[in-house]
Structure 1
Amino acid sequence: MGAVSCRQGRHARVAAHKCGSLGSQQGGNIQGPWTRGWKSLWSGVGTTRSGLEELWGLRGHQCLHREPLEPAPLIVEKPLCEWPVPQFINLFLPEFPVRPLSRQQQLKILDIVAKGSFGTVLKVLDCGRKGVFAVKVVSKVKVIQRDTLRQCKEEVSIQRQISHPFVHSLGDSWQGKRHLFIMCSYCSRDLYSLWSTVGCFAEASISLFAAELVLVLCYLHDLGIIHRDVKMENILLDERGHLKLTDFGLSRHLPQGAQAYTICGTLQYMAPEVLSGGPYNHAADWWSLGVLLFSLATGKFPVSAERDHVAMLASVTDCDCEIPASLNQGLSLLLHELLSKNPFHRPRYLHHFQVHPFFRGMAFDPELLQKQPMNFVIEAQATQPSPLESMTFKDFDCDLESFLVHPSPAQVRTRLGT
């Protein structure tokens, strides 16, 4: 009804304007019955009497036979239709639509997965879908303060565009009064936590992880997308131990041949051309893959972390990565190529990897790769702690603020490992 009233009101105002113009053209001969007819129409669509008096006051000197106006009945105005929306909501549309409160009330928090300056990732139970999901929560105020609105919207836009077996797919995104929400499927473990527990990986496992990541990065680059934050923490593991690349918060559309200049990413994984402020392109992702594979193979990073990008660039420039002689010759060659300081010398197309000695006999096919169970990953996941009792909020969006600042004692104990 609200939308209908809005449309009727606009038609009435257009008609009234035309009537006034017609009266002027005909020498101002506007009769009393016309006055009562238009007054009745305006009051029927909720126009206030003051608006009518103003309208007729402007034309009053033209009326030859004005009859007394009867008091208009009091109309209780209905809420405006959804458009135009308040600016603080409109800023985040259409990537973050508004969801009804009842939809958010179906979410119950099970745990805090990660927390950082970017926001917080929660493990939630969706009672409506009867499943467990991961929800990234970002403060709308912080997005505005840090001027990352475009980045947040592009993150969702990219994730809606891509569909790949080794990519963490987007489930939903929406906005509340205070936060932005990005929901994805939940994976119980990431590659970094596994690496911290296991240490060096067997070369057979490294080759499988590497092949899956090569397929993902080639897929993204073919779509004109650069990830810019390939690292172990952003690689989740599913129930069979296969990877899911996640967190597209620093990703952007970068067509083939185009260049970027923004210094962003995680210091130990950033290519030298990124650390220097560019220009750089998709080849930066292959350097990050080289750092990741080096760490999986040796149990340490090729270059230690520094305090900022300037010091990190100096370390990367001065240091030649020493690859242990104990590594497979094919793996050693791959690491040398990926960690080349000249981005043009790095392999970057799928056929470069398909013919590489390290991947001899490897089928670069997602379905075939997924048929190979990663038993050591499955065994490690079996030792995961039991979930906490879920926490329910009346208003998931607003009550979340106090929860994130003052988490429950049970969650503090869990994160501390006590």
Structure 2
Amino acid sequence: MLWSTHGPFAEGKLRVFAAELGSALGFLHDFGVIHRDVKSLCISGHLKLTDFGLSHRLRRGERAYTICGTMQYMAPEVLSGGPYNHSSDWWSLGILLHVLATNRFPVEPETDHSAMLVSVQMADLTPPATVSHSLALLLAELLCKNPLRRLRLLDHFAHQHFFQGLSFDPDLLQKLPMDSPLSAEKLTALPDPFRDFDGDFLGEERLTLPLAG
């Protein structure tokens, strides 16, 4: 299991981690960019979102249809072949936070996208009682199977009770103490990030977006 050498994250550390990653997603989405592969291997240090190989810019009102990403992090609308938009990144963030908080994925892996979609649709995504009430509420908002009802805006994310008392100012977040809990040597399972994408992706326009930092 990923993170088996680390165990579940303390929620104090998880709050900062989630705030930084949520801020990064909000920044991308403001530019119309959907990341499509939010997972632990795309995150390093204090805190930078990397690996934009599957990213895509969506024009206002546009939707994507390519099945791509890492299967256990894919939103149900991505697994079904779309249409989907930036909301799917927030689902992936919810999966990642669930794993870091509980040391397990909320849905077991399947052999293909169709089987994974069925498992996700049937799954009870309620986190275990070991997580706090405020974190459970945040995860419920992020892991809403209906993308139209899912938490999908940074402002909504930042005002969740889980982040009470934490400033989302990037300069202040960067000054908070944070080690590198997702460093490569602590990861025991390294899935190929390109194993779970649709063949049609090869014909899709790739994104080049210069980002500061």
Report which of the two has the higher share of helix.
1
Give the drift of 1:316.
0.4
Who is 2:203 aligned against? none
Alignment-derived partner of residue 292 in structure 1? 96
Match of 2:210 in 1: none
Superimposed CA distance per residue, residues 267-291 of structure 1 (whole angstroms, 9 cap, x where no aligned partner): 0000000000110000000000000
Matched, 1:349 2:157: no
Match of 1:234 in 2: 42
Classify the secondary structure of the residue corresponding to 1:277: coil
* Greater share of residues in strand: 1
Q: Deviations over 1:185-224 (max 9, x none)?
A: xxxxxxx97x342120000111111000110000000001
What CA distance in whole angstroms lies between the structure 2 residues aligned with 1:296 and 1:311? 24
- Distance in 2, matches of 1:207 and 1:256, equals 31
Match of 1:279 among 74, 83, 86: 83
Q: What is the CA distance between 1:231 and its match in structure 2?
A: 0.4
* Alignment partner of 1:367 is 2:171: yes
- 2:49 is aligned, of 242, 245, 258, to 245
2:66 alignment partner, SS class: coil
Tell me the secondary structure at the aligned position of residue 344 of structure 1: coil
Distance 2:158 2:52 in 1: 26
Distance in 2 separating the partners of 1:214 and 1:301: 19
**Rounded Cα–Cα distance in structure 2 between residues aligned with 1:222 and 1:212:** 15
Q: Distance in 1 between matches of 2:164 and 2:60?
A: 28
State the AA in 2 paired with 1:208. Answer: V
Partner of 1:117: none
- Aligned equivalents of 1:253 and 1:334: distance in 2? 27
Alignment partner of 2:48: what SS? Answer: strand
Paired letter, 1:279: P
CA–CA separation in structure 1 for the residues paired with 2:113 and 2:60: 26
CA distance in 2 between counterparts of 1:210 and 1:282 reads 17
Q: Which amino acid aligns with 2:114?
A: V
2:67 match: 263
Structure 1 residue 259: deviation in Å? Answer: 0.3
Q: Secondary structure at the match of 2:67?
A: coil
Match of 1:340 among 121, 137, 144: 144
Q: 1:255: how far off? A: 2.1
CA RMSD of aligned residues (A): 1.9
| CA contact 2:126–2:140 (8 Å) conserved in 1 | no
Residue 370 of structure 1: how far off its partner (Å): 0.9
Aligned to 1:9: none
Q: Which has the higher contact order (CA 8 A, sep 6+)?
A: 2
Partners in 1 of 2:147 and 2:94 — Cα distance? 12
Residue of structure 1 in register with 2:17 after alignment: 209
* 1:54-75 Cα shifts (integer Å, max 9, x gaps): xxxxxxxxxxxxxxxxxxxxxx
Give the conservation status (yes or no) of the 8 Å contact 2:126–2:136. Answer: no
Q: Deviations over 1:21-66 (max 9, x none)?
A: xxxxxxxxxxxxxxxxxxxxxxxxxxxxxxxxxxxxxxxxxxxxxx
User: Sequence identity, in percent?
Assistant: 59
The CA distance in 1 between the partners of 2:161 and 2:60, in whole Å, is: 27
For 1:322 and 1:330, how far apart are their aligned partners in 2? 13
After TM superposition, give the deviation of residue 256 of structure 1 in Å. 3.1
CA contact (8 A) 2:76 2:121 kept: yes
Structure 2 distance, partners of 1:214, 1:256, is 21
Paired with 2:156 and 2:9, the residues of 1 have a C-alpha distance of 24
Please list the CA deviations of residues 288-316 of structure 1 after superposition, one character each: whole Å capped at 9, or x if unmatched: 00000000000000001111101100100
Q: CA deviation at 1:322?
A: 3.0
Q: Deviations over 1:360-406 (max 9, x none)?
A: 0110011101111125x48x97x99xxxxxxxxxxxxxxxxxxxxxx
Distance in 1, Cα, partners of 2:66 & 2:57: 13
Q: 1:319-330 to 2 correspondence within 5 Å?
A: 319-330=123-134
CA, structure 1 residues 255+202, in 2 after alignment: closer, same or farther (shift >3 Å)?
same
Q: Which moved more, 1:199-208 or 1:347-356?
A: 347-356
TM-score (norm 1): 0.43
Bigger Cα Rg: 1
Contiguous gaps of at least 5 residues in structure 2:
187-213
